[in-house]
Amino acid sequence: MENITNELSKEHQYILKVIDAVMLECDRLVQGKDVDENFFQRVISFIQNYADGYHHVKEEDILFKAMLRNMVNTHCNPIPVMLHEHDAGREFVTGMKSALVLYDKEALIENARRYGNLLRDHIFKEDNVLYEMAEEALNDSEKKTVNEAYAAVKLENFIKQDLDEFVKSLSVTI
């Protein structure tokens, strides 16, 4: 039987590691550390290119659409909530970018923390509810089609740096 969500759950682990680094950096900012613009620019780039680009493309354009075609086989429809949370995350990232431009430390902390808290909850829901629903809702043929579509989405089109190196570089920064 094909599995269509293990890959997405693995991608969540990179996103969560970056969120952990962001939350720690926010704690340090509250304690008086100056804003490390380079750190936040790199994080924003990662979020936009990997989390929102690469990962959300696979969810929104492939998995969610496959599930919606098969909604008769799902218990309820959580997809609108997931899409709303993706949009809310994008708003927080826009808030972080704006705060960097305006040198507004408080707004940066607020938007970064709200993004981190949202994504932690969002990822929990996907890993523990939505992905299980997807595995149940789609048959093997549909799962094969989903996996083939995932394979067509190339990581290098979204982010050039090795993910493990990137996450490690954030830990060194803070």
CATH code where residue 26 lies: 1.20.120.520
- Residue type present at position 101: V
Mean pLDDT throughout 95-120?
98
Assess if residue 39 is contained within a domain.
yes
Total number of domains constituting the chain: 1
pLDDT digits (tens, 9 = 90+) for 7-60: 999 999 999 999 999 999 999 999 999 999 999 999 999 999 999 999 999 999
- Residues 96/52, Cβ–Cβ less than 8 Å: no
Domain extent at residue 149: 6-173
- pTM of the predicted structure, to 2 decimals: 0.92
Instruction: Return the residue matching tokens 């613009």.
Output: 37
What band does 174 get if pLDDT is binned at 50, 70 and 90?
very low
Q: At what angle do helices 6-30 and 105-125 cross, to 10 degrees?
A: 150
User: From CA 108, how far away is CA 113, in angstroms rounded?
Assistant: 8
Residue 1 inside a domain? The answer is: no
Domain assignment of residue 152, yes or no: yes
Q: What is the DSSP letter of 33?
A: P
Cα distances (Å, whole numbers) of residue 123 to 16, 38, 45, 170: 8, 26, 19, 21
